[in-house]
Structure 1
Amino acid sequence: MVIWGLNFAVAKYGLREFSPMLLMSLRFAMVAVMLLPFVAVPWGRMKEILVLSVLLGGLHFPLMFTGLTRVDAAAASIAIQLQVPFSSILAAILYKDKLGWRRGLGMAISFGGVIVIAGEPRALDGSWYLGLVVVAALIFSIVNIQIRRIGSINGFSLNAWMSVMAAPQLIAVSLLMETGQIEQIRAASWLGWGSIAYMAIMVTIVSYALWYPLVRRYPVNQTMPWTLLVPVFGVLSGVLLLGEPLTPAMVVGGSLTLVGVAVIMIRKAPKQNQNQSAT
């Protein structure tokens, strides 16, 4: 959670020197180069990994980092927590999971918190970009479902082959939508390259290698509450590293979002999940 929380501020440094799609393509290319020589080919899972690469590399990260170009790291780290109510909605649609009034109330509170942040004068200019972060949260809730569908697979192998598939997608999008890629690469400072290295090594390799097995092994209501720490570290890193203001609207909206997310996640586990976790 510390790694993910710091990622928002670190990414802002990278976005000062690279356009969003180029930044992401370089990130996934670095991951592929570092991991591919050391992992096996996950035969029989390539189709599912391709779908994951489109969801993460082709949709989630481009939306997220395009939003970050005009949204404070603190606000983005809070808004991305809407993945939790989105996950509950998808579970109700796909698996007929009963929402109940408590989770319904939690959803309303969490969405209300983001609305408070979006209504702040500072955020109004970038409300469209904050919307992109919200859509990225929706995509990430679908990503978690896809990870469970892939089943048991080595986390390094999954990251390596997902990156192999995601990098060309992002390069193509960058060439279509952005300009000056060569100039950006030549002019980049150590901060820009350091940002990419942090995202490739710490965020993509280290943190996801830890997260994927947890998502598959434990019930969602045991793993997801830990993500409440992400916006805490995200806000702190934005304030301390980037000098972003901690406004009353940010405090109120962030608190509402986290309370709503907590109401959704922190509940008694179903009996079958308790039995599964015991084994």
Structure 2
Amino acid sequence: MQARTPPGFTAFAVMVLLCATWAFQQVTIKVAGEGISPILQAGLRSAIALGLLTAWAYWRRLPLRGDDGSLRPGLLAGLLFGIEFVFIYVGLSYTTASRMIVFLYTAPCLTVLGLHCCVAGEQLSWRHLAGVALAFAGIVFGFAGASGVRPDAWIGDGLGLLAALGWAATTVLIRASRLATISATKVLFYQLAASAALLLPLSPLLGESGVTTLSMPIVLALAYQGVIVAFASYLTWFWLLTRHLAGRLMVFSFLTPLFGVAFGVLFLGEKLTPSFIVAAVCVTLGIVLVNLPASRPAAADSPE
């Protein structure tokens, strides 16, 4: 196994592209939401990526069987993954894409709290505490500015925060269980398989309207989520983790909410309130403080 090295120019460029890719997903969820109900859309995203991942693993002869003791935590991780995306997709029916991604990306800061409680050797330092404090300050400012968007925007903001909690819980589970010792491809397989199995039947059970319109923008938006984000970008991310120091790569996560805010304004015409701008700055600084490289680089997990 080759030693992991600090990322060079190519890795930097790829990380910037990945952050932009993940941020633009919120825009495509809004676009596809014009013709596909939220939970069904999330289930289709997972199903599309699952089919591609299974074919890729078969081509590369990567084992995906769960007889190594990873099945139970893998299914639980997939359940948390699916619930997280229920919150994201339903939440975007109430709030803007730019607000959603800022609340969602409080997850790295919430994760360090969970790791502190559940994983040995993951105690909080002053830098982590400062990052978490800034992120929570951002949450306060963000909710304070919800009245400037729409009356029920707080519902979507709250669902975004619940999605962040789900993401953090998934990361802690992966780090604290048998999943920490298996391949990233198998972990992603569990997440996609369990979420697709949960979300696709859940949509009609909850009385969603399903597919009401299938225009080219809607089809392309759904394909972007399944093919580009949930399959190609995640595999690229995991490939980077096998070659470079995870701590150095995670610092780039602060770019994702910044890209998300910019894309929401540029492509969806979303308005920014002063308090929300302060919230975005606080959350971004919190992410940077939490993810700054330390002497012992921390492991990283799926970026969503």
Q: Give the TM-score normalised by structure 2.
A: 0.79
Q: Which residue of 1 aligns with 2:36?
A: 18
Which residue, 86, 91, 110 being the options, matches 1:62?
86
CA separation in 2, counterparts of 1:42 and 1:214?
A: 24
Which residue among 113, 126, 136 is the counterpart of 1:89? 113
The 5 A counterparts of 1:1-279 are: 1-39=19-57, 40-43=63-66, 44=68, 45-57=70-82, 59-96=83-120, 97-120=122-145, 121-123=147-149, 125-148=152-175, 149=177, 150-151=179-180, 153=182, 155-181=184-210, 184=211, 187-214=213-240, 221-266=247-292, 268-270=294-296, 273=297
| Cα deviation 1:74-100 (Å, max 9, x = unaligned) | 111111121122111111101253323
* Cα shift at 1:173: 1.6
Q: CA deviation at 1:152?
A: 5.5
Alpha-carbon separation, structure 1, partners of 2:107 and 2:45: 23
* CA offsets 1:54-112 (integer angstroms, 9 cap, x no match): 1112x111111111111111111111121122111111101253323332232122111
For residue 108 of structure 2, what is the amino acid of its counterpart? V
Kept after mapping to 2: 8 A contact 1:221/1:269: no
Structure 1: gaps (5+ residues): none
- Give the secondary-structure state (helix, strand or coil) at the position aligned to 2:106: helix
Inter-CA distance 125–15: structure 2 relative to 1 (3 Å threshold): same
AA aligned to 1:189 is S
* Shift of residue 119, structure 1, vs aligned partner: 1.2
TM-score by length of 1: 0.86
Structure 1 or 2: more helix by fraction:
1
- 1:152-181 CA distances to partner (integer Å, 9 max, x unpaired)? 655555444542332121022212213322
2:11 corresponds to which residue?
none
Structure 2: gaps of 5 or more residues: 1-18, 58-62, 300-304
Change (3 A) 1:206 1:83: same
Q: Indicate how the Cα distance of structure 1 residues 156 and 49 shifts in structure 2: closer, same or farther if over 3 A, else same.
A: same
Q: Is the 8 A contact 2:104 2:161 kept in 1?
A: yes
Contact 1:83 / 1:138 at 8 angstroms: preserved in 2?
Answer: yes
- Residue aligned with 1:98, SS: coil
Moved more, 172-181 or 125-134: 172-181
For each residue in 1:130-162, what CA deviation from the matched residue of structure 2 results, as whole angstroms up to 9, or x when unmatched?
111111111111222344442465555544454
- Evaluate the alpha carbon distance shift between residue 237 and residue 214 of structure 1 in structure 2; reply closer, same or farther with a 3 A threshold: same
Measure how far apart 1:220 and its partner are: 5.5
Equivalent residues, number:
269
Which stretch of the first structure deviates more once superposed, 189-198 or 139-148?
Answer: 139-148
Q: How far apart in 1 are the matches of 2:187 and 2:293? A: 31
Give % identity: 23
**Structure 2 vs 1, CA of residues 175 and 261 (structure 1 numbering), >3 Å: closer, same or farther?**
same
- Per-residue CA deviations over 1:202-237 (Å, capped at 9, x if unaligned) read 110111112335567766633321110101110111
- 1:267 shift after superposition: 5.3
3-state SS of paired residue (1:171) = helix
**How far has the Cα of 1:127 moved from its partner?**
0.7
RMSD: 2.5
**Which residue in 1 is equivalent to 2:9?**
none
- 1:156–1:205: 8 Å Cα contact kept in structure 2? no
